[in-house]
């Protein structure tokens, strides 16, 4: 069964790479541990709308919600994860997430403030042999449709720290991008949720579009 799921995953991502006119769904990751995986409910719909307009993508307006251990993971080329607190992956969930990522999938993790120490711990279960590394500002994910010469934009202030972007690179491919002290997802939300300026929201949406563009074009 696992071989069949992996084969479907490979075929899907290969097909998607050459047929961007196909309507696809991106997804939000549901995880255990008590963290609020459901934070920022308006974020992904706004990002989808922005990308369909600015990048001419054909992403389904409604995002899916997928659990870490579900085979449904393989039906989505881009998965977003966020929250403020604890994250726990079981061994089987970590294995499933790993298989998804090495099969062509992509995970964006956005620390909404408070999940950093937990997600770093759990990622060691997924890729025990790899390190989460800070990506240089020259990395291509910052230079897609929109140019971010100084790395990820700072959307919200928490601890007086700079926004940082980390990645996991497997066999020369970036499979996971982690934004820390950045709050991209907050910037994707409806304007009245955080009362961010249009300038700030545009920065967040443009960086989000770069993530989508990177995934869809690589």
Q: Identify the burial level of 190 via C-beta atoms within 10 angstroms of its C-beta, where 0-12 means exposed, 13-18 middle and 19 or more buried.
A: middle
Mean predicted confidence (pLDDT) in 39-48: 96
The overall average pLDDT reported for the chain is 90
DSSP 178: E
User: What is the average per-residue pLDDT within 12-17?
Assistant: 46
Domain ranges in the chain are: 2-217
CB 80 within 8 A of CB 26: yes
Task: Give the model's pLDDT for residue 62.
Answer: 95
What does the pLDDT look like over 23-39, one tens digit per residue?
899 999 999 999 999 99
How buried is 129 (Cβ within 10 angstroms: 0-12 exposed, 13-18 middle, 19+ buried)? exposed
Residue 48's pLDDT is 98
What is the pTM (predicted TM-score) of this model? 0.90
Sort residue 93 into left (φ over 0), alpha (ψ -120 to 50) or beta: alpha
The domain 2-217 is placed in CATH, from the list 3.40.50.12140, 3.40.50.300, 3.40.50.150, 3.30.465.10, at 3.40.50.12140
HSE-up of 20 (CA within 13 Å, CB side)?
13
Size (the chain), residues:
218
Question: Is 80's pLDDT higher than 50?
Answer: yes
Given a cut of 60, whether residue 108 has pLDDT beyond it is: yes
| pLDDT in the model for residue 16 | 47
Q: What is the mean pLDDT of residues 9-19?
A: 45
| 139-180: pLDDT as tens digits | 999 999 999 999 999 997 777 889 999 999 999 999 999 999
What DSSP state is assigned to residue 32? B
pLDDT at 19 over 50: no
Residue 22 — very low, low, confident or very high, per pLDDT cuts 50/70/90? low
Q: Is there a contact between 163 and 194 (Cβ–Cβ < 8 Å)?
A: no
Q: Which residues pair with 173 in a beta bridge?
A: 170
8, pLDDT greater than 90: no
Q: Minimum mean pLDDT among 59-63, 112-116, 167-171, 175-179: which range?
A: 112-116
Query: For residue 21, what pLDDT band results from cuts at 50, 70 and 90?
Result: low
Choice among 8-17, 41-50, 63-72 with the minimum mean pLDDT: 8-17
């Amino acid at each position: 069964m696992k071989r069949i799921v992996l084969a479907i995953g490979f075929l899907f991502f290969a097909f998607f790479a050459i047929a961007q006119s196909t309507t696809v769904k991106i997804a939000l990751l549901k995880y255990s541990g008590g963290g609020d995986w459901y934070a920022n409910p308006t974020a992904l719909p706004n990002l989808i709308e922005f990308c369909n307009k600015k990048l001419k993508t054909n992403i389904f307006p409604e995002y899916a919600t997928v659990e870490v251990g579900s085979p449904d993971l393989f039906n989505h080329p881009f998965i977003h994860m966020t929250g403020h607190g604890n994250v726990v992956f079981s061994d089987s969930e970590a294995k499933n997430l790993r298989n998804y990522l090495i099969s062509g999938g992509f995970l964006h993790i956005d620390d909404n403030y408070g999940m950093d120490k937990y997600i770093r711990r759990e990622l060691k279960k997924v890729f025990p042999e790899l390190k989460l590394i800070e990506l240089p500002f020259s990395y291509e994910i910052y230079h897609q449709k929109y140019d971010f010469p100084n790395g990820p934009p700072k959307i919200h202030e928490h601890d007086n720290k700079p926004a940082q972007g980390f990645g996991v690179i497997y066999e020369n491919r970036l499979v996971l991008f982690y934004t820390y002290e950045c709050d991209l997802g907050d910037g994707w939300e409806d304007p009245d949720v955080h009362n961010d300026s249009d300038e700030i929201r545009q920065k967040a949406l443009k960086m989000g579009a770069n993530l989508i563009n990177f995934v869809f074009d690589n």
